[in-house]
Amino acid sequence: MGGFVAFYHWQPWEVDWLGALMPEANPRSDLDSAELMKTGIRVMVVVAHPDDSEFYAGGILHALGEAGARIQLVVATDGDKDYYWFEDHEENSLIRRGEQDRATDLWRGLPPIYLGFADGRVRSNLALRRALEREIQRFEPAVILGFDAEFPRSPSHQDHRRVGQATEAAFEESRWQGWLLRMETRAPNWAFDITSRWDQKQKTVMVHESQFGPKREFILELIRSRAEKDGELIGAALAEGFRVTRVTRRSASKQAY
């Protein structure tokens, strides 16, 4: 038993053992997709690892890029897997950053920003919150895509949850206002139809050959099954689901729509 507990705390995945908490109120968002697809709209995507953006939001990112959005990806870690002693951490970092750079080019994003925090050991601490706050203030996005730390899927990577927490703390400190789209959520209230973009998403996900290549069929089937489930929200064959809120500066609080 002690060995299992030690292993659970060492590895980076978290399971909600006591059941899936759900929001008391989670009304369907009235965010208009056309509002997002404006030429020049500023969108910031905040993730934990190289490959997260394509895995969870590759379809909508392709649509935004084609519509002429300015998209800034911020990656908290380099994906070096430093917590695994049998990995070549420096090589992992170089490979995964290169893959992310190429994937970002496919959906027409700006050069990614890598913050270099510890992969597998991310904490929502002052250093991460301040780093994210600086990027939000610099880029001034109208939309932020980030992880759902409050109602995440289970199991989920602890880095995803911590980066989600830090992102929300950072924009509250910076008094940001705009649309917040939380991905990897068990409580989606809005979805984007990616049926016509499935081929694009597959291609972009598989740029991350170092992570997904050996298990290509499993990964693509996993993503597709999630997309089918999210599609049920809007009657689409395939979709990416998000828990969406409108953040208002006036009240410095998150208002659901």
DSSP 8-state assignment for residue 175 = T
Domain ranges of the chain: 31-250
For 117-173, the DSSP string reads EPTT-----HHHHHHHHHHHHHH--SEEEEE-SSSB-SSEEHHHHHHHHHHHHHHHH
If you average pLDDT over residues 126-145, what whole number do you get? 97
**255, pLDDT greater than 60:** no
Q: 59 near 192, Cβ under 8 Å?
A: yes
pLDDT mean over 108-122:
95
Degrees (nearest 5) of the Cα angle 161, 204, 182?
Answer: 30
Average pLDDT, the chain: 90
Secondary structure (H, E, C), 29-80 = CCCCHHHHCCCCCEEEEEECCCCHHHHHHHHHHHHHHHHCCEEEEEEEECCC
What per-residue confidence (pLDDT) applies to 29? Answer: 94
pLDDT value of position 79:
81
- pLDDT, residue 17, reads 63
Is residue 250 very low, low, confident or very high in pLDDT (cuts 50, 70, 90)?
low
Cα–Cα dist 8/24, whole Å: 30
Residue written as token pair 């909600």: 16
* Three-state secondary structure call for residue 4: helix
Over residues 150-158, mean pLDDT: 85
Q: Is 54 exposed, middle or buried (0-12, 13-18, 19+ CB in 10 A)?
A: buried
CATH assignment, 31-250: 3.40.50.10320
Instruction: Read off the pLDDT of each residue in 175-192 and give the average, rounded to a whole number.
Output: 96
Helix (H) or strand (E) holding 14: strand 13-14
d(CA 49, CA 160): 8
What number is the average pLDDT over the span 25-36?
91
Comparing 87 with 45, the larger pLDDT belongs to 45
pLDDT category at 5 given cuts 50, 70, 90 is very low
Instruction: Report the sign of the C-alpha dihedral through residues 148, 254, 243, 41, in that order.
Output: negative
Identify which has the larger pLDDT, 23 or 86: 23
pTM of the model: 0.91
